[in-house]
Structure 1
Amino acid sequence: MKFSGWPESGELVVGRVDEIEDFGVFVDLLEYEDKRGLCHISEVASGWIKNVRDHVNTDQRVVAKVLDVDESAQQIDLSIKDVSDHQRKNKIQEWKNEQKADNWMEIAFGEDISDEEYSTIANTILADFGSLYDGFEKAAIHGHEALDDVDLDEDQIDAIVETARENVSVPYVTVSGYVDLTCPSGDGVDAVQEALRAAEGNGESPVSSDGSNESSEDGSSDIPEEVDLEVTYVGAPEYRIEVQAPDYKTAEDQLEASAERASAQIAEHGGSGEFHRERRSDDE
């Protein structure tokens, strides 16, 4: 997607060196429609420059800082030297992400989507998420919930979520802990099974003593859609809880909540549950 407007002073832009002159470099702005900027020789690199061509090449992709914009004169002044290596790397990654998101838009809505419809959908996503890529990433993680407040119709939201889930690689973190479940009553085995169902979301598959999962009756779950939680048998009375989530806070919260659900459930049968981060069975 290319913006139809003008960049702002101070903004970092991605461009392609179109023409090199003795006095500077003309750069086509890849993020803006029909926009071209000039990087004066003094802004190409630090220090004294004898030959501009020693520092840039035609068709080279560069990241530049917008120094000034004069719309009436159709002029954009740029600086290449004012961009740090860190800024350059981040901006290029951001630009590449938006290229991916452009491709996802075509997958979601077809190559024949009109420019008007594309712009309407894209601008709506930009208004809510700041970038197309962030919108698709949030849709991949949170599903329809991420787009609840976005001014798009149901079919458009379905298309975005489906495409995001199939194409966006979401970074996840994994945390784990252990819960000891004991119940001295006669129905202790059943009590532990109920506690495990609670740990996995009040309806997820309980874990049998051999480590396999058994199907629950209703298949319901209290676990958020973007979280993957698994409980496995370690050795009586210890069970391992592993959580995969988009960020550490969510993962840690779900880990603790899982252990608390198991402990509360088994306590109803006169048993006890204790959560700990390190495995104990090998030491007992």
Structure 2
Amino acid sequence: MRFYENKYPEVDDLVMVQVKQIQDMGAYVKLLEYDNIEGMILLSELSRRRIRSIQKIIRVGRNEVVVVLRVDKEKGYIDLSKRRVTAEEKEKCEDRFNLSRQVASILREVASKLTEADFTPPQNGDNQFAAPVSVTTEEEKLEQLYEQIAWPLGRQYGHPHAAFKLMLSDSDAVFGSLPVQPSPAIIRQLKTTIGRKLAPKATRAHAKVDVSCYTRAGIDAIKRALRAGEKVGTDAVPIKARVIAPPRYMLETNTMDGGIAVDRLERAIQAIQAAIEKEGGTLVVHENPKVASESDEQELKALMAKAEAENAEVAGDDDSEAED
């Protein structure tokens, strides 16, 4: 199924292709956004530099951004160029392709959950609904979803993905902009799928600090200081202080906005520092507040699991000494 309303791309369009075969004349590719129709990149259009090894420039199975040079719709020939694509154009095309692929994923899931009856609108004399169509296969359902919803929204909002995002906050306005209304069953399923796939996800942010106090207040002063940092948190941006291994502690929060999370953690560190210095202690920032990446998350999980295991061992040793 193609992503866009036009069956073929236009000259000068940027498209995402996957390399199928490499021959002496050039590379045969399939256009991933246009139902995998075939195109060709001539050898002279592969690179601006002298080609010493074609395998270093292009490989079978790899996705490439190319620009359309010629389109013969009658014969189905599409000539493409890789060497004429700039770095900026490549990034722009990749972004659009990723959005289009996400739209396709949403619509394909919706299609898989709909029946043929769902494409039959209510028979109440109201002509605002799309005309009933006969669809039996999932591909036919998918094509109808593109024709009734995605392509009209693409014309209205620039890209259907933008409209899908807007549905999270104002679905009535988005569906109201369609020239004809899909059936209620289609609308319900689409809203459910979009709500699950595009809803903002909570962002985790953290910081690491070393908090010490060697006065008589000792550990109690540290606890009070950490509580002062936690109090900086809000319902929307709660802050939790967790021990890694004294004197190191981790401050963490989950929120929808990474920038707000980092700002709130910085305030928490300031509150902890003020509180511990008042008690005669010190605070040293080991790791500044930041939004955690996927690798950070894995590292943190391993670190906290290790810390919990070590704390459990210490508790066990204390119990054994008490029994002796």
Normalised by the size of structure 2, how large is the TM-score?
0.49
Please state which structure has a larger fraction of its residues in helix.
2
SS at match of 1:76: strand
- Cα distance 1:105–1:164, how it changes in 2: closer, same or farther (>3 A)? same
- Separation in structure 1 between the aligned mates of residue 56 and residue 111 of structure 2, nearest angstrom: 45
CA contact (8 A) 1:18 1:58 kept: yes
- Separation in structure 2 between the aligned mates of residue 33 and residue 154 of structure 1, nearest angstrom: 26
Shift, 1:109, TM fit: 3.9
Q: Which residue pairs with 1:150 in the alignment?
A: 178
Aligned positions, number: 189
Q: Which residue pairs with 1:72 in the alignment?
A: 74
Match of 1:19 among 4, 18, 21: 21
SS at match of 2:103: helix
Q: Which residue pairs with 2:315 in the alignment?
A: none
- Cα distance 1:36–1:92, how it changes in 2: closer, same or farther (>3 A)? same
Q: Which amino acid aligns with 1:166?
A: R
Shift, 1:160, TM fit: 2.6
Q: Which residue pairs with 2:195 in the alignment?
A: 165
Matches within 5 A, 1:171-250: none
- Separation in structure 2 between the aligned mates of residue 96 and residue 38 of structure 1, nearest angstrom: 22
- Separation in structure 1 between the aligned mates of residue 29 and residue 63 of structure 2, nearest angstrom: 9
Q: Which residue pairs with 1:125 in the alignment?
A: 153
- Separation in structure 2 between the aligned mates of residue 90 and residue 169 of structure 1, nearest angstrom: 24
- Separation in structure 2 between the aligned mates of residue 110 and residue 23 of structure 1, nearest angstrom: 41
* Identical aligned residues as a percent: 19
- Separation in structure 2 between the aligned mates of residue 41 and residue 60 of structure 1, nearest angstrom: 17
Shift, 1:88, TM fit: 1.7
Match of 1:138 among 163, 166, 186: 166
- Separation in structure 1 between the aligned mates of residue 56 and residue 78 of structure 2, nearest angstrom: 23
Q: Which runs of 5+ in 2 are unaligned?
A: 114-136, 203-235, 237-254, 258-324
Q: Which residue pairs with 2:83 in the alignment?
A: 81
Shift, 1:108, TM fit: 3.1
Q: Which residue pairs with 2:300 in the alignment?
A: none
- Separation in structure 1 between the aligned mates of residue 41 and residue 67 of structure 2, nearest angstrom: 9
- Separation in structure 1 between the aligned mates of residue 110 and residue 170 of structure 2, nearest angstrom: 17
CA contact (8 A) 2:65 2:82 kept: yes
- Separation in structure 2 between the aligned mates of residue 17 and residue 109 of structure 1, nearest angstrom: 29
**Match status 1:5 vs 2:7:** yes
- Separation in structure 1 between the aligned mates of residue 102 and residue 76 of structure 2, nearest angstrom: 30
CA contact (8 A) 1:22 1:41 kept: yes
CA contact (8 A) 1:14 1:92 kept: yes
Q: Which residue pairs with 1:252 in the alignment?
A: none
SS at match of 1:39: strand
SS at match of 1:110: helix
- Separation in structure 2 between the aligned mates of residue 169 and residue 140 of structure 1, nearest angstrom: 7
- Which structure has the larger Rg over C-alpha atoms? 2
Q: Which residue pairs with 1:30 in the alignment?
A: 32
Q: Which amino acid aligns with 1:142?
A: D
**Match status 1:54 vs 2:56:** yes
Normalised by the size of structure 1, how large is the TM-score?
0.55
- Cα distance 1:33–1:161, how it changes in 2: closer, same or farther (>3 A)? same
